[in-house]
Chains A and B, each alone.
Chain A
């Protein structure tokens, strides 16, 4: 377990230990471990195929086979079936966003069931995302990439989860929208949300993340707080290859 100095002590909200994952015969995750404390935002960085998305999917139990230990608020998640995972207070915003084409914006928003008290109300969500309010009866297909990304985040916020996994939220979006998403994430942080971010764009990530985890070939190489990012920039370029 590679730990960075100066990190918050105490029990982690999301604790992953020695997580291994397979797609069929292919061993894709090799002993991934990380701790996520309440209110923290951490980000996984690495090049394509490093296993970042796979890690998120493994945490959500969407991988065909996984071994190791995953705990949320101390409770063991390994035996929990997929459709109960969300009820531990964890939400997932996938890379492809997953907006349902045959549902309207409003239906998409209402779809994920409430898993815990304390979720945002519809009014609060429409305040945070006014452009979604305008389009509430449009079918999901008619939204732009940025709007879809907002919707994908918004619908999770309704459910009352405390931990959100976001996979490449800024991918393919215009700088103005990226800025907007950054603002949203900062708002969420202020409200005490715990975020696990996967981001290629570490210039964006550094604005919201407290710690960075470097991944390569299904391994976590190292982690460090955002304050050390400039010092580690060469290493970052080496690993991410950008």
Chain B
């Protein structure tokens, strides 16, 4: 099973080239403690952040961070690079926008519908894509998501180039007014934390351990009797659904769903966020997302084309910085 060259926290090489899962060394324990402490600080920070930083910006970061985290579930932990994740992100955005605006659903149900819809698309795409491995898998996901792009382009309910505009934020569960900036902020934060911990639980569950085993040695896992295709598909659907959760939430926050959300450039961006932050790490994708979103805002105000900036970061990361920020940090701590 090909897996990407990165220092995962879990693996180390034996001298004969086989991978070995180490016992809990002191270094590992330190890392987890640091992780928990940092997470705690981050949560506290996020709780007070809207009073210091423009909340819409943070919400944007949170949505993309969740998107990247969902993507990383597939890439970092199963070793599958999906180049078409925008289909789930943007698809969910469309479903949610339609439910909230046209059917008048309250936001949470609309969001859950979007996530569910994304999961369903994920089931269909995953079923086809899982048949191939490695780069072939990436190409297939790219092509299928482009097909979905065209379907959304032509479907009347999406209003094509205009997108679905004026999506109401509504009243959460009929009670909480999400037009209040603080209310919607904490709602989004709650969704983000839920998604984050969902992925964390998946990774650390028996299911997650099988996924890791598949990434490290698929043949051995098959010979142990595991229905590897089912696990991969399961992970794919979960990744799609959580990516959809991110997209749905974004649609409610920004009150719009457009073709940009399902375009292949969006798929590329989430890959970049994960690569930059550190694949296969818990915090990497979120940090990468924060950085990319911040940079996009910064460069958009300057006269510098954002696409070129993203391309340059991609190239630099692939050539020089494959472990990503968190990956490099872990390596430094481990020394």
Report the minimum CB–CB distance from A65 to chain B (whole Å): 15
Query: In chain B, residues 8-23, which have Cβ atoms closer than 8 Å to a Cβ of chain A?
Result: 15-17
Q: Does A26 contact B (CB under 8 A)?
A: yes
Report the minimum CB–CB distance from B298 to chain A (whole Å): 42
Q: Does A25 contact B (CB under 8 A)?
A: yes
By a CB distance below 8 angstroms, the chain A residues around B16 are: 26
Encode contact with B along A13-32: 1 for CB under 8 Å, 0 otherwise. 00000000000111000000
Which residue in chain B gives the minimum CB-CB distance to A26?
Answer: B15
In the bound complex, what is the Cα–Cα distance between A233 and B10 (angstroms)? Answer: 51
By a CB distance below 8 angstroms, the chain B residues around A26 are: 15-16
Query: In chain A, residues 1-54, which have Cβ atoms closer than 8 Å to a Cβ of chain B?
Result: 24-26
Report the minimum CB–CB distance from A29 to chain B (whole Å): 16
Encode contact with A along B278-314: 1 for CB under 8 Å, 0 otherwise. 0000000000000000000000000000000000000
In the bound complex, what is the Cα–Cα distance between A24 and B16 (angstroms)? Answer: 10
Report the minimum CB–CB distance from A22 to chain B (whole Å): 12
In the bound complex, what is the Cα–Cα distance between A25 and B15 (angstroms)? Answer: 7
By a CB distance below 8 angstroms, the chain B residues around A24 are: 17
Which residue in chain B gives the minimum CB-CB distance to A25?
Answer: B15
Interface residues on B, range: under 10
Encode contact with A along B5-48: 1 for CB under 8 Å, 0 otherwise. 00000000001110000000000000000000000000000000
A interface residues, how many (CB within 8 angstroms): 3
In the bound complex, what is the Cα–Cα distance between A25 and B16 (angstroms)? Answer: 10
In the bound complex, what is the Cα–Cα distance between A219 and B249 (angstroms)? Answer: 66
Which residue in chain A gives the minimum CB-CB distance to B17?
Answer: A24
Which residue in chain A gives the minimum CB-CB distance to B16?
Answer: A26
Which residue in chain B gives the minimum CB-CB distance to A23?
Answer: B17
Report the minimum CB–CB distance from B20 to chain A (whole Å): 14
In the bound complex, what is the Cα–Cα distance between A26 and B17 (angstroms)? Answer: 10
Report the minimum CB–CB distance from A170 to chain B (whole Å): 28
By a CB distance below 8 angstroms, the chain B residues around A25 are: 15
In the bound complex, what is the Cα–Cα distance between A25 and B12 (angstroms)? Answer: 14
Report the minimum CB–CB distance from A174 to chain B (whole Å): 33
Report the minimum CB–CB distance from B113 to chain A (whole Å): 52
Report the minimum CB–CB distance from B18 to chain A (whole Å): 13
In the bound complex, what is the Cα–Cα distance between A26 and B14 (angstroms)? Answer: 11
In the bound complex, what is the Cα–Cα distance between A121 and B17 (angstroms)? Answer: 44
By a CB distance below 8 angstroms, the chain A residues around B15 are: 25-26
In the bound complex, what is the Cα–Cα distance between A24 and B17 (angstroms)? Answer: 9
By a CB distance below 8 angstroms, the chain A residues around B17 are: 24
In the bound complex, what is the Cα–Cα distance between A25 and B13 (angstroms)? Answer: 11
In the bound complex, what is the Cα–Cα distance between A56 and B15 (angstroms)? Answer: 22
In the bound complex, what is the Cα–Cα distance between A172 and B16 (angstroms)? Answer: 26
Encode contact with B along A39-83: 1 for CB under 8 Å, 0 otherwise. 000000000000000000000000000000000000000000000
Encode contact with A along B307-326: 1 for CB under 8 Å, 0 otherwise. 00000000000000000000
Report the minimum CB–CB distance from A112 to chain B (whole Å): 30
Encode contact with A along B246-277: 1 for CB under 8 Å, 0 otherwise. 00000000000000000000000000000000
Report the minimum CB–CB distance from B238 to chain A (whole Å): 36
Report the minimum CB–CB distance from A63 to chain B (whole Å): 15
Encode contact with A along B51-91: 1 for CB under 8 Å, 0 otherwise. 00000000000000000000000000000000000000000
In the bound complex, what is the Cα–Cα distance between A25 and B14 (angstroms)? Answer: 10
Report the minimum CB–CB distance from A186 to chain B (whole Å): 40
In the bound complex, what is the Cα–Cα distance between A24 and B15 (angstroms)? Answer: 9
Report the minimum CB–CB distance from A226 to chain B (whole Å): 36
Q: Show 4 A/B contacts (Cβ-Cβ < 8 Å), sorted by A.
A: A24-B17, A25-B15, A26-B15, A26-B16
Chain B residues packing against A (C-beta within 8 Å): 15-17
**Nearest 4 A-B pairs (CB), nearest first?**
A26-B15, A25-B15, A24-B17, A26-B16
